[in-house]
Amino acid sequence: MRGEEGRFQYTIKDVKITELNLTSDLRFQPDVGLLFEVQNSSITLNFQRRILYWLFYDEGAINASAEGVNIFTVLHLTKDQEGRLKISNVTCDASIAKMRARFSGTLGRVYDLIGAFLTTGMRFLLNKQICPALNHAALVLVNQLLETIPVRTEVDSYVGIDYSLLSDPVVTETSLDMDFRGMFYNLKNENEVLVNYAMNPIVREYDRMIYLALSEFFFDSGLFSYFKGGLQKQLLLDSFQMPKDLEMLLRTTYLGTIMMLNPALMEHPLSLELEVTSPPRSTIKTSGANVAVSCNVKVLVLPPGKPAVQLSSMTMVRTTANSMQRFKIYSNQSALESLALIPLQGPLKTMLQISVVPLINNYIKRGVQIPLPDGIDFIEEVVEYHNGYIIVGANLHFRTGLREIIERKLSGETDNSI
């Protein structure tokens, strides 16, 4: 900043804010977004002067303070074309009531006489720069942080997940409500998705900073996508893999069938072929959650160098709920054979438990990334079951300072922690 007043000429440069004493408030602005308000606060700053007064030339530092700082900023929140939360506009009004300056150097007393002129110019300069700085912080820096929120990303080689917003966020006096798609999809055919018939979750709790509500559709779309992707669709267990007691029980159960077909088959190994016949389905109630899986099981004899010979075909239905398991098996050929299969229920249930379930759990335990920006984690989580959906409540923890996150984002680094 340069200027002159009569015989007085000045140049001010290297303005640095050394201290902020802000009385601030951040709250929701209904139907708009976030309101950031600073009232009756102060700023301490330092700048370099260069002054010519008559024949006297002097330069040095000036310590100044701005008082009565008031800033009123509203961040307008929307969703962008990709379905990501975005600050679309900033409304800003800032003012500084007064400014004081303390001069050092041999002409300090002289400068005090004309200090009002300098501080008036500096106050005008700061008033002009507060809102542009806040606009840049919101529209550029914070939006770059929001871009790190996963919207549509791969989970593994089979499925991806879509967290895109369905509509603009709804802002009330107490909350920011966002409706996510919350859907898995098959990477081989991203357009083949499950139709959503689940009920819309309702969140009434306010004890935590954030609540993530997941309907049955969230889980069913994952099970559907894995099924369509071919995972666990077919599993072959021969006699060298299955437990010996199960093999013996199968030979005893199907002894008559083997003898009728060809007695020579008695010497050949047996095999079980399991195939998931339909996408598993989840059910969520206040008492907990369960998953129902239906499998078609074929009992085969494997003569060397020849096609497999089918002895029987049966359907197994397994439902898991709160560590309790229900299991039933019935023949696809006759009701009479279903009665004969009753002794097989226990061993087949055990086989399913030790072979198929661990493979499914191996994928489940990996988890999926939640829609949070880099550097922010869930802590103090609590899970509540409702009819048709679950709610995960948590507080937010900044694993990294916001400034550091933004600076790392500007440098091209990312944090992919889950």
Task: Give just the sign of the alpha carbon dihedral 274, 276, 277, 280.
Answer: positive
Token look-up 């039933």 returns: 328
- pLDDT of res. 340: 57
The predicted pLDDT at position 359 comes to: 61
pLDDT of residue 400: 73
What sign does the dihedral 193-198-202-205 (CA atoms) show? negative
Q: What are phi and psi of 205, to 5 degrees?
A: -80, 150
Q: Specify the pLDDT at position 386.
A: 93
CB neighbour burial string for 296-313, b if at least 16 within 10 angstroms, e if fewer: bbbbbbbeeeeeebebbe
Three-class secondary structure of residue 175 per DSSP = coil
DSSP state of 142: I
Q: Which residues pair with 85 in a beta bridge?
A: 79
pLDDT number for residue 415: 47
Sorted by sequence, the CB contacts under 8 Å of residue 24 that are 6+ apart come out as 36, 37, 38, 39, 41
What value, to the nearest 5°, has the Cα angle with vertex 87 and ends 84 and 92? 175
Nearest to 84 by CA among 28, 32, 152: 152
**pLDDT above 70: percentage of residues in the chain:** 78
Positions in the chain whose pLDDT score sits under 70 = 5, 103-118, 231-242, 318-369, 409-410, 412-418
| DSSP-derived secondary structure for 313-346 | EEEEEEEEETTEEEEEEEESS-HHHHHHTGGGHH
The enclosing H or E element of 227 equals helix 216-228
Tell me if residue 82 falls in helix, strand or coil. coil
Torsion angle of alpha carbons 235, 240, 246, 251, nearest 10°? 100
The rounded Cα 240 to chain-centroid distance in angstroms is 43
Quote the DSSP letter at residue 152.
Answer: E
